[in-house]
Amino acid sequence: MSTTTMTHDEAHHHEAPKGWRRWLFSTNHKDIGTLYLLFALTMLFLGGASAMLIRLELFQPGIQLLDPDLYNNLVTNHALIMIFGAVMPAAAGLANWMIPMMIGAPDMALPRMNNLSFWVLPAAATMLILSFVVPFFPGGGTQINTGWTLYPPLSVQVGMSMDFLIFAIHLLGISSVLASINIIVTLLNMRAPGMTLLKMPMFCWTWLVTAFLLILVVPVLAGGVTMLLFDRHFGTSFFDAAGGGDPVLFQHLFWFFGHPEVYILLLPSIGVLSHVIPAFSRKPLFGYNSMVGAMLAVATIGMVVWAHHQYTVGMSLGAVTYFMIGTILISIPVGLMIFNFIATMWRGSMTFETPMLFAVGIVLMFTFGGLSGVMLAVVPADMQYHDSMFVVAHFHYVLMPGAVFGLFAGVFYWLPKWTGHMYDEKLGKIFFWINVISFNITFFPQHFLGLAGMPRRIVDYNVMFTEFNVISSVGAMIFGLSHLLFLYIVIKTIRGGKKAESRAWEGAKGLEWELDSPPAFHTWTVAPQIK
């Protein structure tokens, strides 16, 4: 890094381009990060609206609002929009914003590919929405009533909306694979001199592992849905028993992707927690190395336990025993992470700003979801719980705290850095409490419903389940609407507020806090030296 190169840099220094070109042609990691986050927020409301329709229908037994196929289509869309539209892009948005700033790099390694991996998303979202709209037109065929798992033979029989969905999944897959390649290349090659892999901030580590998981599993899903497309239109029988295929093969391909996907959603939030909890406990993260090791263990074991989603398809005793033991083993490294977080808080001088409230909430509620996961991992018990509302309660306890609350924590933690303004702390805390309480009202009763035998993915239910469903639906309405408050807080912070210092939180550590708030359009054009 010589002085001549600095003048070279300054000569080419340019400010942000104006107008729509700034966004459409952007190669700037901060702008693309913003685009990702805005896209995710839009999808959050779309997916949330479909969830609220589902809960409205389940408010009372009988069929009131939605016919069964439309209901199941909403269930399918809610899952796909939330997973592929909201959580993954939001995590990618955080990665785009933070990774270059955290490792002292001027930008992502492949800026043009970064642009492409974002701009594929709106196209994919359009396809996804089209798949929902098409059945309303004459000749549009049936709705996608399969649920997000898209199991054949039903998914082979669904109308043309399934083809839109398959292409949407292809596009979403391309987007996340490109983003993953970019993130890995950035993390491996662009770190500031002196920053070894084991000095890398935890958020970067979680994203390194997440990106590798994505590269390993998303192509397999893409292959699976491609075979589905071939079965539908080109006369192959990958999954059709009459042609020598096996429908269970699709389940294996799907869950080979689907189970690691859970960790793909979870790990970036674990990364956020590893910054938020030390910052507000005013202590360094407890057990950094063990945290990295635990994460690698989770990712490795998580790759080979997928069939615990299929205990009931009739695998041999040996196979289910293997998948059961493997699944239960995962609770050991995950438990280690949780204990590390608790140990970080232990005897720290803690304060409870909004990000920290979310972080503590995650440690509590994610652990709860993890425990019901261990229940589901046990084969004889799972035979009872399988496809019941208990499963719905379980994975919402894992994914809402584990993924979405982690993203909220990250947004509140870094919002002052991005916008240069402090958010309204009082509103933030109100949002946290409404959000968390209504979340529990919504999903806690679903455990009881499932244990009492209410199946999932069915539009109607026995009258004996009415009370808990009413509670759950009321909670869901509050929960859904509470996100409008989140939107308001974010807009308010962007428009103004108390000026944020470069180190917005006194306990915050890391390179990103050495930059101005908001940071310049180009940062770390001269790499910092890490001791």
Partner 1 sequence: MNDQASQNHGKNRRTTLLLSGLVVAMFGFGFAMVPLYNLFCEVTGTQSLSQRSEIGRVVATDESVDTSRWVTVKFDTTVHPNLPWAFDAMTQKLRVHPGKTYEVNFVARNRSNETVTGQAIPSVAPWQATPYFSKMDCFCFNRQTLKGTERADMPLQFMVSRDLPKEINSLTLSYSFMRLKESETETETPEIPNRIAVNAGE
Task: Give the nearest distance from C-beta 253 to partner 1 in angstroms.
Answer: 6
Among 236-244, 282-290, 440-448, 462-470, which window interacts with partner 1 (CB under 8 A)?
Answer: 236-244
CB distance 52 to 472 below 8 Å = no
Cα–Cα distances in Å, from 449 out to 50, 374, 400? 21, 19, 19
Q: Which stretch binds partner 1 (CB under 8 A): 90-98, 159-167, 244-252, 499-507?
A: 244-252
DSSP H/E element including 304? none
- 383 is a contact residue toward partner 1 (CB under 8 A): no
Q: Which is nearer to partner 1, 41 or 217 (CB)?
A: 217
CB of 276 to partner 1, least distance (A): 30
Of the candidate residues 17, 68, 159, 223, the single one contacting partner 1 (CB under 8 A) = 223
Structure tokens at 494: 């962007």
Q: Nearest-CA neighbor of 30 among 20, 41, 22?
A: 22
Q: Is 464 in the site for partner 1 (CB under 8 A)?
A: no
Binder among 102, 222, 276, 338 for partner 1 (CB under 8 A): 222
Of residues 9-68, which lie at the interface with partner 1 (CB under 8 A)? Answer: 9
Measured distance CA(81)–CA(127) in Å, rounded: 11
Specify the residue, 237 or 502, whose C-beta has the smaller distance to partner 1.
237
Closest to partner 1 by CB, 177 vs 470, is 177
Mark 275-291 as b/e (b = at least 16 C-beta within 10 Å): bbbbbbbebebbbbeeb
CB of 362 to partner 1, least distance (A): 31
The residue behind tokens 């729509």 is 20
Name which of residues 170 to 209 contact partner 1 (CB under 8 A).
177, 180-181, 184-185, 188-190
Alpha-helical (H) ranges within 237-287 are: 247-281
State which residue, 215 or 485, has the beta carbon closest to partner 1.
215
Binder of partner 1 out of 65, 129, 160, 248 (CB under 8 A): 248
Which stretch, 32-40, 83-91, 247-255, 383-391, contacts partner 1 (CB under 8 A)? 247-255
Among 133, 136, 243, 498, binds partner 1 (CB under 8 A): 243
Measured from the CB atom, is 224 or 278 closer to partner 1? 224
**Interhelix angle 88-103/406-419, nearest 10 degrees:** 50
For partner 1, which residue of 128, 253, 422, 441 counts as binding (CB under 8 A)?
A: 253
What number of chain residues touch partner 1 (CB under 8 A)? 44
Question: Restricting to residues 92-131, which ones interact with partner 1 according to CB under 8 A?
Answer: 109-110
Cβ 249 to partner 1, closest distance in Å? 5
Binding test (CB under 8 A) with partner 1, winner from 314, 349, 380, 491: 314
Question: Are the C-beta atoms of 33 and 444 separated by less than 8 Å?
Answer: no
The C-alpha R_g of the chain, in whole angstroms, comes to 23
CB of 226 to partner 1, least distance (A): 8
Rounded distance between C-alpha atoms, residue 518 and residue 117, angstroms: 25
Among 203, 238, 405, 408, interactor with partner 1 by CB under 8 A: 238
Q: Are 294 and 205 in contact (CB under 8 A)?
A: no
**Sole binder of partner 1 in the list 48, 104, 152, 224 (CB under 8 A):** 224
Q: Does 215 bind partner 1 (CB under 8 A)?
A: yes
Q: Do 285 and 202 touch, CB atoms closer than 8 A?
A: yes
How many Å apart are CA 272 and CA 468, to the nearest integer?
Answer: 34
Structure tokens given for 72: 């199941």
Task: Give min distance, CB of 365 to partner 1, in A.
Answer: 33
For 118-143, the DSSP string reads HHHHHHHHHHHHHHHHGGGSTT----
Three-class DSSP labels, 40-104: HHHHHHHHHHHHHHHHHHCCCCCCCCCCHHHHHHHHHHHHHHHHHHHHHHHHHHHHHHHHHHHHC
- The single residue among 66, 220, 379, 427 that binds partner 1, judged by CB under 8 A, is 220
Q: Which of 92, 95, 209, 217 binds partner 1 (CB under 8 A)?
A: 217
**Which of residues 316, 347, 349, 426 is near partner 1 by CB under 8 A?**
316
154 binds partner 1 (CB under 8 A): no
Q: How far apart are CA 435 and CA 441, in angstroms?
A: 10
CA-based nearest residue to 94, from 152, 40, 154:
40
Kindly report the backbone phi and psi dihedral angles of residue 461, in degrees, each rounded to the nearest multiple of 5, phi listed first.
-150, 165
Residues that bind partner 1 (CB under 8 A): 1-2, 5-6, 8-9, 109-110, 177, 180-181, 184-185, 188-190, 215-224, 227, 238, 241-244, 246, 248-249, 252-253, 256, 313-316, 318-319
